[in-house]
A and B are shown apart, each in its own frame.
Chain A
Amino acid sequence: MSAIIIALVQVVLFVFLAPLLMGVIRQVRATIEGRAGAGIWQPWRDLRKLLAKNPVRGTDSSWMLRVGPVALVVSSLLLCVLLPLVGTIPFALIPSDLFVIVSIMLIGVVALALVGLDGGTAFGGMGSSRHMTVAALVEPTLLLSVYAFSIPAGTSTLSVIVETRLLSPELIISPVSVLALVALSIAIMAETARLPIDNPGTHLEVTMLHEAMTLEASGRDLAWLEVGSWLKLAALLGLVSNLIVPWGIVTDFSTLGLLIGVVSIAVKVLVLGVLLSVGEIFLAKVRLFQVPELLAGSFALAFLAVTASYLVA
C-alpha cells in the first residue's frame, strides 16, 4: 500500500516539477548570460499553447507520429514511478531493478528515434541516426556504472542501493563510488541530450541531435515529446541527487516522512538543475565525432570502478 502511495506521489510531484525544472534551468542560464529570460513558468505556458493547437501531420506519416510521443511520455512516467525519488519502498513484483529501468528508458529512446524517422525528411533521419549512435555508445557506460553501484549493495535494485548508502555514508565518498557517479553523470548527460553532447538551445543543423527529431512534430505530438524529455531529465537528476545525498528519502512510511521526502527531493532536483545550468555556461558542445571519445573516457571510469571494487574490497 505504502509503495503505491509513494509511487503516486512521485508521479504527481514530477509531472509538476519537470516543467518547473526546465524553467529554472533556462532562466538561470538567461540571467547569467545577461538576458531577461522568459521566467520559470514559461515551459508551462508552452505546454498549454501546444495542447491547444491543431496538430499538423503529413499524409505519409504513420501512426508512429501519434504513438511514439505517448510511448516516450509513458516510459518517462514509468521512470518516475520506479526510481527511488521520494521513497525507497519498492513494489514487491517490480523492484526498481536498474537493468529494467535502463530498458524502460530505452523504450523512450527508440520511440523518439522512430518519430524522427517517420517525418520523412533528412533532418529527422539525421537526428535519429545521431541520437541512436550516441545511445548505443552510452549503453556500456550506463550498465557498467550500474554494475559498480550494485557491488557494495549486492543487488542491482536501486532502492536497496540508496538505502545502503544512507546507512553507510562512507560509501558515497569512496573512490569507487565517485568514479561510478562521474561515469553515470556523463551517461545521463548524453541520454538527456544536454551539453557537452548536445546543445538543447540550438537549431543549427550541424549540431542538432534531439531538436532535429522533433522538427516535424507539432501541437500535442510535440507537447508529449517535450514533456517526456523533461520528465526523463528530472527523474534522472533525482536519481543522481539521491545517490549523492540520500538523506531525506522515505524509508519507513509516515505522513511527515512523506512530506519531508517530497520537499527534499524537490529541493535536490532544483539545486542540481541550477548547478547543471551554471555548469553548462562554461561548456561548449563537443564535435559530434569527438563524442565517442568522451563516452570512451566515461566507460573507462566505469570499468575502473567495477574492477577496483572487486580488487580493493
Chain B
Amino acid sequence: MTGIGAGLLLQLGLGALAVVTALLAAPSLRSRAGGILCTLIAVTGFITGLAAMLGATGGLLIPVALPMDPLLLAPDRLGGLFMLIVSGVGILVSIYSMSSTSGPDASRTAWVAMPVFLVGMQLVPAATDSVSFLLAWEIMTLGSTVLLLADHASRASVASAGIWYSAMSQLSFFFILAGFAVLAAASGGTSFSNLQAIEPGSAAANVAFVLLLLGFGGKAELVPLHVWVPRVLPEAPSHVSAAMSGAMVKIGVYGGLLVCVRLLPDGPAWWGIAIMLVGGASALYGILQASVSSDLKVLLAYSTTENMGLVFLGLGASMLLRGYDATAAADAALVAALLLAVSHAAFKSTLFLGAGAIIHATGERNLDRLGGLGARMPVTAVAFGIASLGAAAIPITSGFVAEWMLLQSLIHGGRQGGAVVSIAASVAMPIAVAVIALTAGLALLTFVKAYGIAFLARPRSVEAADAREVPSLMRISLALGALSVLALGLLPGPIAALVATTVSSDPTAAVQTVGLGGVSLPGIGAVLDPIMLVVLSALVAIPVIVAIIVSARRHPHRTVDLPWGGGGSRARPRMQYTATSYAEPLVRVFDDVLKPSRDVQVTHVAESRYLVEHVRVEQTVSDVIETRLYRPVLNLFQRYGKAARHVANGSIHRYLTYSFVALLIVLIVVSL
C-alpha cells in the first residue's frame, strides 16, 4: 500500500473512531475528545493532500461486485491541492470547536456528524470515478446538514434553513448526477479517465457541461443558486459556517475545475463566456448584498458568493483565453483563480470563526448593536482585522496577490504580441476588469464597515460593553487563521509556483519565484514582491515614527471622556453611525438592484403635531432573486400541493382503489 492509500485509510479509521467516541463519551469530555480526533483527521488529510499535490501517486481501491469501473480514491495534484485546502480549514475549525461548542452544538449527534462531514469533504477530491465522487459528495452533504440542524429545537429559523439547504443540496446533487450520467452514457464508463475521452464539442458534452455547471455552481454559491447561503451560513453554529464557507464551497469549485480543466478541457468559446457571466454576476450581486447587510454572518455569507464568483470569473477567463491560444494569460488566470480559492479558505474561515467569537462573547451578530470590541477582545480584533484586509484585497494579504494576478492576466489577455486576440476577448476583458474593480471597491466598504462598526468606536449595547475575550483554544485557532492569511500574502511566489503545478502543463513558464518569496509571471512580464514592499514601507515609516516618538516625549497626549463629540456635549453611543446607516448611501445608489423596503413611523407628542416623540425606521433589503425567481415557483408548488390534497384525503378505501386501478393499468400495458 502506498503512502497516499495509507493516509486515506487512516482518515477513514480515525473518522470511525471519532464517531464511536462521540457516541460513547461523557458529555463533559465529548467536545474535547471529538475536537482532538477531528484535528487528527484534518492533519492526516493535510499531509496526504500535500503529498498528492507534490506528485505522490497511489490510492485506495474499494472493491465492489457491481459491473462498473472500480471505485478508486487516488487524488491527483489538483485533488491534493483541494484536500489541502479542506483539511487546512478542518484543522482551524476542529481546534476552535473544542472550546466553542456547548449545549446543542455539542450534542452527540453534532459530534457524530462532524467527522463524517470532514472525511466526506476530503474524499471528494480524492475520487477518480464518478460513483465514488457522488458517494463522498453525499457523505459531505449529509454531515453538513446534520451539523446545521444542531440547534433546530430552540430556533425556528434553523429548521427553515435546514429545509432550504436540503432542497438546494439535492437539486445540486440531481444536476451533478444527471451530468455524470450523460457523460457515462456517452463514454461507456464511470471512471474519470473514461469520461475524459468525450469530444468537448459533442452534444453530450454540452448537455453535461450545463448540468454539471448548475450542480457545482449551486454548491459554490453562484447566482442564482445561492439562495440557501444567506439562510444556512448564518444559522449554522459558527465553526460549521466556517467549515462550510471555507471548505465545502471549495468542493464546488473543485467540481467546476474537474469539469472545465480535467474532464472536458478545450470546450467551445461559449463555455468560457458562460462561466465568466455567471461568475461576474455572482461577484457583483454577492458583494452588493454583503455591503448593505447589517447581520455580520449574513454579510460574510454573501461575501462568499462574491469570492466564488471571482474564482469562476478567473476560470472562465482562462478557458476563453486558452481557446484563443493566449496560453500565458490563460495559465495566469487559472492560477489566480486557484490562489483566490486558497486565500478565501484562509480568510473566510478566520472571519467566520471571528464572528463566532463575537457571538460567543456578546450573543449578538447584529452589527448595529456591537462596537468597541477592539479594546475588549484584542486577539479576536487583530485576527478579524487581518482577515478583513484579506477579504478586501489589501496588500500583503493573500487576497491581494490573487486579485492582482487575476487583473494582470486579464489586461494581458486581450492581445497577444501586439495583435488583438479576438473581438470577444477584447470586450470580455474590460468588462471583467470593471466587474472585479467594482467588486473590490465594494468589498473594501463592506469590510471597513464590518471591522469598524464591530471593533472600533463605542459599544452600542450593554452586551457589547460587557464582552470578554474568548478562551485560549479559540484564540489559538483565530491566530493560526490570521497567520495563514499573512503567510499566503507574504510568500506568494512559492505558493503560486506550487499551485501552478496542479493545473499547468508548463508551470515554470506560467509562474516563477523571484526575490524573497515574490511572484513573477514570465509570460506577461509582471512582478510582485510583498516582502520588499514591507521592507520599503518600514524604511519610509522610520522617520515618521522617530518624529512621533520625539513629539510624544515633548507633548504627551491627554485622555478625556469625549474629546470633541462632533461639536456636541451629549453625544451618546446610540448617536454613532451604525452598520445600517453606514451602507445607506450605497442602498440609495443601487436602489434599482436592491429594492429596499423602508418603513418610517413618526409618533407625535400629544400636545403638538410639530413635536416628535419618537421615530421608528425599519429597513429590509430582501434577496431580489429569491423573491422574483424562487417565490413564484414555490407558490406554484404550494398550490399544486394543496390541490393534490383532495386526491389524497387519507381515506384507506380511496388508496386501495388507487392501487387496484394502478395494477389494472400495469396489467393492461403488459398485455399489449
Q: Which of A62, A93, A143 has the largest count of B CB atoms less than 10 A from its CB?
A: A93
Please tell me which stretch of A36-44, A51-59, A246-254 contacts chain B, meaning at least 4 of its Cβ atoms lie within 8 angstroms of it: A51-59
Q: Can you list, as one digit per residue, whether each of A55-92 has a CB less than 8 Å from chain B (1) or not (0)?
A: 11111111110000010011001100100000000011
> How far does the alpha carbon of A78 sit from the alpha carbon of B534 in the complex, in Å?
10
> How far does the alpha carbon of A218 sit from the alpha carbon of B410 in the complex, in Å?
44
A110 B555 Cβ-Cβ under 8 A: no
> Is A100 interfacial (CB-CB < 8 Å)?
yes
Residues of B within 8 A of A216 (CB): 563-564, 566
> Is A198 interfacial (CB-CB < 8 Å)?
no
B555 A52 Cβ-Cβ under 8 A: yes
Q: Can you list, as one digit per residue, whether each of B577-589 has a CB less than 8 Å from chain A (1) or not (0)?
A: 1100111111011
> How far does the alpha carbon of A139 sit from the alpha carbon of B418 in the complex, in Å?
27
Nearest B residue (CB) for A311: B426
> Is A17 interfacial (CB-CB < 8 Å)?
no
Interface residues of A in 110-136 (CB under 8 A from B): 110, 113-114, 117-126, 128-130, 132-133, 135-136
Residues of A within 8 A of B456 (CB): 62, 64, 114, 117-118, 120
How far in angstroms is the closest Cβ of chain B from A298? 12
B437 A110 Cβ-Cβ under 8 A: no
Query: With A136-B445, A303-B430 in contact, is A100–B395 under 8 Å at CB?
Result: yes
Nearest A residue (CB) for B445: A132
Residues of A within 8 A of B451 (CB): 114
A59 B444 Cβ-Cβ under 8 A: no
> How far does the alpha carbon of A123 sit from the alpha carbon of B566 in the complex, in Å?
6
Nearest A residue (CB) for B561: A59
> How far does the alpha carbon of A113 sit from the alpha carbon of B457 in the complex, in Å?
12
Residues of B within 8 A of A230 (CB): none
> How far does the alpha carbon of A156 sit from the alpha carbon of B404 in the complex, in Å?
11
Q: Can you list, as one digit per residue, whether each of B525-568 has a CB less than 8 Å from chain A (1) or not (0)?
A: 11111001100110011001101100110111111111111111
> How far does the alpha carbon of A279 sit from the alpha carbon of B451 in the complex, in Å?
38
How far in angstroms is the closest Cβ of chain B from A131? 9
Q: Which of B371, B560, B582, B586 has the largest count of A CB atoms less than 10 A from its CB?
A: B582
Residues of A within 8 A of B167 (CB): none
Partner of A113, one of B374, B448, B529: B448
Nearest B residue (CB) for A303: B430
Residues of A within 8 A of B430 (CB): 144, 147, 303, 306-307, 310
> Is B518 interfacial (CB-CB < 8 Å)?
yes
How far in angstroms is the closest Cβ of chain A from B536? 6
Partner of B589, one of A77, A113, A132, A289: A289
> Is A186 interfacial (CB-CB < 8 Å)?
no
How far in angstroms is the closest Cβ of chain A from B278? 20
Residues of B within 8 A of A104 (CB): 395
Residues of B within 8 A of A119 (CB): 457, 563-564, 566
A136 B372 Cβ-Cβ under 8 A: no
How far in angstroms is the closest Cβ of chain B from A159? 13
Interface range on chain B (Cβ under 8 Å from partner): 35 or more
Q: Can you list, as one digit per residue, whether each of A251-286 has a CB less than 8 Å from chain B (1) or not (0)?
A: 000000000000000000000000000000000000
Query: With A106-B444, A135-B444, A144-B437 in contact, is A307–B426 under 8 Å at CB?
Result: yes
Q: Can you list, as one digit per residue, whether each of B419-448 has a CB less than 8 Å from chain A (1) or not (0)?
A: 010010011001001101110111011001
How far in angstroms is the closest Cβ of chain A from B440? 6
Partner of B533, one of A52, A94, A128: A94
Interface range on chain A (Cβ under 8 Å from partner): 35 or more
Residues of A within 8 A of B527 (CB): 92-95, 97
B433 A144 Cβ-Cβ under 8 A: yes
A74 B540 Cβ-Cβ under 8 A: yes
> How far does the alpha carbon of A61 sit from the alpha carbon of B456 in the complex, in Å?
7
B575 A121 Cβ-Cβ under 8 A: yes
Partner of A215, one of B372, B552, B566, B586: B566
B532 A120 Cβ-Cβ under 8 A: no
> Is B375 interfacial (CB-CB < 8 Å)?
yes
> Is A292 interfacial (CB-CB < 8 Å)?
yes
> Is B72 interfacial (CB-CB < 8 Å)?
no
Interface residues of A in 214-232 (CB under 8 A from B): 215-216, 218-220, 224
> How far does the alpha carbon of A113 sit from the alpha carbon of B394 in the complex, in Å?
14
> How far does the alpha carbon of A85 sit from the alpha carbon of B609 in the complex, in Å?
62
Residues of B within 8 A of A123 (CB): 566-567
> Is A13 interfacial (CB-CB < 8 Å)?
no
> How far does the alpha carbon of A124 sit from the alpha carbon of B568 in the complex, in Å?
13
How far in angstroms is the closest Cβ of chain A from B617? 15
How far in angstroms is the closest Cβ of chain A from B574? 10
A307 B585 Cβ-Cβ under 8 A: no
Residues of A within 8 A of B632 (CB): none
> How far does the alpha carbon of A156 sit from the alpha carbon of B410 in the complex, in Å?
11
Residues of A within 8 A of B445 (CB): 132-133, 135-136
> How far does the alpha carbon of A220 sit from the alpha carbon of B571 in the complex, in Å?
24
A156 B411 Cβ-Cβ under 8 A: yes
B555 A103 Cβ-Cβ under 8 A: no
A54 B556 Cβ-Cβ under 8 A: yes
> Is B392 interfacial (CB-CB < 8 Å)?
yes
> How far does the alpha carbon of A216 sit from the alpha carbon of B562 in the complex, in Å?
9
B448 A110 Cβ-Cβ under 8 A: yes
> Is B514 interfacial (CB-CB < 8 Å)?
yes
Nearest A residue (CB) for B555: A54
Nearest A residue (CB) for B455: A62
> Is A11 interfacial (CB-CB < 8 Å)?
yes
Residues of A within 8 A of B589 (CB): 133, 137, 289, 292
Residues of A within 8 A of B400 (CB): 103
> How far does the alpha carbon of A143 sit from the alpha carbon of B427 in the complex, in Å?
16
> Is B393 interfacial (CB-CB < 8 Å)?
yes
Nearest B residue (CB) for A104: B395
A156 B532 Cβ-Cβ under 8 A: no
> Is A138 interfacial (CB-CB < 8 Å)?
yes
How far in angstroms is the closest Cβ of chain A from B103? 32
B537 A74 Cβ-Cβ under 8 A: yes
A136 B537 Cβ-Cβ under 8 A: no
Query: With A64-B374, A121-B565 in contact, is A219–B557 under 8 Å at CB?
Result: yes
How far in angstroms is the closest Cβ of chain A from B556? 6
> Is A140 interfacial (CB-CB < 8 Å)?
yes
Nearest A residue (CB) for B552: A220
Nearest B residue (CB) for A62: B374
Q: Can you list, as one digit per residue, whether each of B598-638 has a CB less than 8 Å from chain A (1) or not (0)?
A: 00000000000000000000000000000000000000000
A129 B557 Cβ-Cβ under 8 A: no
B407 A126 Cβ-Cβ under 8 A: no
> How far does the alpha carbon of A104 sit from the alpha carbon of B438 in the complex, in Å?
17
> Is A288 interfacial (CB-CB < 8 Å)?
yes
Residues of B within 8 A of A109 (CB): 444
> Is A178 interfacial (CB-CB < 8 Å)?
no
Query: With A117-B457, A120-B576, A144-B437 in contact, is A128–B452 under 8 Å at CB?
Result: yes
B420 A313 Cβ-Cβ under 8 A: yes
> Is B59 interfacial (CB-CB < 8 Å)?
no
> Is A164 interfacial (CB-CB < 8 Å)?
no
How far in angstroms is the closest Cβ of chain A from B522? 13
B561 A58 Cβ-Cβ under 8 A: yes
Residues of B within 8 A of A60 (CB): 372, 375, 457-458, 562
> Is B363 interfacial (CB-CB < 8 Å)?
no
Nearest A residue (CB) for B516: A93
Q: Can you list, as one digit per residue, whether each of B374-411 has a CB less than 8 Å from chain A (1) or not (0)?
A: 11000000000000000011110000100010011001
B585 A129 Cβ-Cβ under 8 A: yes
B437 A139 Cβ-Cβ under 8 A: yes
> How far does the alpha carbon of A62 sit from the alpha carbon of B377 in the complex, in Å?
12
> Is A150 interfacial (CB-CB < 8 Å)?
yes
> How far does the alpha carbon of A155 sit from the alpha carbon of B552 in the complex, in Å?
45
A289 B588 Cβ-Cβ under 8 A: yes
Partner of B408, one of A121, A156, A224, A288: A156
Q: Give me 10 A-to-B residue pairs in the complex whose CB atoms sit less than 8 angstroms apart, sorted by A's number.
A: A53-B555, A59-B560, A60-B372, A60-B562, A129-B582, A132-B582, A133-B589, A139-B438, A155-B525, A215-B567
10 interchain residue pairs of minimum CB distance: A125-B577, A139-B441, A136-B441, A121-B566, A310-B426, A117-B452, A120-B457, A123-B566, A143-B437, A140-B437
Apart from A81-B536, A106-B394, A124-B566, what 4 extra A-B contacts exist at CB < 8 Å? A54-B557, A64-B456, A74-B544, A143-B433
